[in-house]
Amino acid sequence: MGHSNVWNSHPKNYGPGSRTCRVCGNPHGLIRKYGLMCCRQCFRSNAKEIGFIKKKKNVKFGSSGRVVFQSLLTHFSLTSEKLMRTLVLG
């Protein structure tokens, strides 16, 4: 019983080599999240048909980042006001 007879003689039912893409059969770059079992290339070509839509954020960056800084200040001032209200009422 030589090395060539033993190599890959037992079926592999675990680990990354056991799973393949359900579209093309490629074992590399597999996306398993949500039970997709699809490689990244097939996912990119079929994403819209599956129902995945890329969402864009409508944040406009100023030249010095002032817009982002102002939105952070607004967010934290609103959350601090809510916190103060709950502390006073509670």
DSSP secondary structure string for all residues of 75-88: HHHHHHHHHHHHHH
Among the ranges 22-26, 54-58, 73-77, which has the highest mean pLDDT value? Answer: 22-26
Over residues 11-36, the pLDDT tens digits come to 778 888 889 999 999 999 999 998 99
The fold adopted by the segment(s) 15-50 is 30s Ribosomal Protein S14; Chain N (4.10.830)
In whole angstroms, give the CA distance from residue 20 to residue 23: 9
Ramachandran area for residue 63 (φ above 0: left; ψ -120 to 50: alpha; else beta): alpha
In whole angstroms, give the CA distance from residue 42 to residue 49: 11
pTM: 0.51
